[in-house]
C-alpha cells in the first residue's frame, strides 16, 4: 500500500462515533454532527454547520441504502477528521434511491488542505460503503467500540485492495 493510501485510509477511521442519535431531519443531523466534531476540537460549530448545509444544497450527500457522507472544508483543523453517527430513526435525506438515512459519516477536511486528498478520501468512503456486508456489520454493531472495529477491518480491506 502506498504511503498516500495508508495516510488517507487512517483519516477514514472515525474520531467520534455516536449511536442512537435522536435527530429530527437533515439540517438537525448536520447540526449534531458539527457540534460533536467542534466540541472535541474547541471550534465554533456555526461555520461548520453552514459549510455542511451549503454542500447539501449543491446536492444531497446521501449515497443510497440508508447512508450519507456529509462533508465540507473547514478552517481550524490540520488534517481530515471524521465522525460516524447512527440515528435512532431514519430521516429523509433526498437520497437517489429515495430511502431514508440512518448512517452518516461526516467528513471535515482542512480548508487549506490538498483537494486531491479530499477526493481520495471520498472515493475510499464510497468504496467502503458500497460493500453491503460492511454496511450490515456497521448497522448491527451494538456499540461504538464494535463499530470502530468494523471500520478498522473495512478500511484495511479497502486500503489493501487500493494498493
Active site residues: 71
Residue-wise DSSP of the chain: --HHHHHHHHHHS-SEEEEEE---SHHHHHHHHHHHHHHHHT--HHHHHHHHHHHHHHS--EEETTEE--EEEESS-SS-EEEEEEEEEEE----TT---EEEEEEEEEETTS-HHHHHHHHHHHHHHHT-HHHHHHHHH--SHHHHHHHHHHHHHHHHHHH-
Q: Rounded distance, CA 49 to CA 27, Å? A: 8
What grid cell was written down for 28? Answer: 438537525
Amino acid at each position: 500500500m502506498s504511503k498516500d493510501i495508508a495516510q488517507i485510509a487512517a483519516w477514514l477511521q472515525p474520531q467520534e462515533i455516536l449511536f442512537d442519535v435522536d435527530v429530527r431531519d437533515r439540517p438537525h443531523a448536520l447540526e449534531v454532527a458539527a457540534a460533536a466534531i467542534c466540541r472535541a476540537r474547541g471550534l465554533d460549530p456555526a461555520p461548520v454547520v453552514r459549510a455542511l448545509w451549503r454542500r447539501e444544497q449543491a446536492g444531497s450527500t446521501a449515497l443510497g441504502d440508508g447512508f450519507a457522507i456529509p462533508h465540507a472544508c473547514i478552517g481550524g483543523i490540520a488534517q481530515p477528521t471524521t465522525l460516524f453517527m447512527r440515528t435512532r430513526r431514519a430521516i429523509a435525506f433526498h437520497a437517489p434511491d429515495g430511502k431514508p438515512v440512518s448512517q452518516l459519516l461526516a467528513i471535515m477536511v482542512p480548508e487549506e488542505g490538498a483537494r486531491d486528498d479530499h477526493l481520495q478520501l471520498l472515493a475510499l468512503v464510497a468504496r467502503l460503503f458500497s460493500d453491503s456486508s460492511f454496511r450490515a456489520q456497521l448497522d448491527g454493531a451494538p456499540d461504538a467500540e464494535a463499530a470502530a472495529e468494523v471500520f478498522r477491518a473495512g478500511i484495511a480491506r479497502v486500503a489493501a485492495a487500493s494498493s
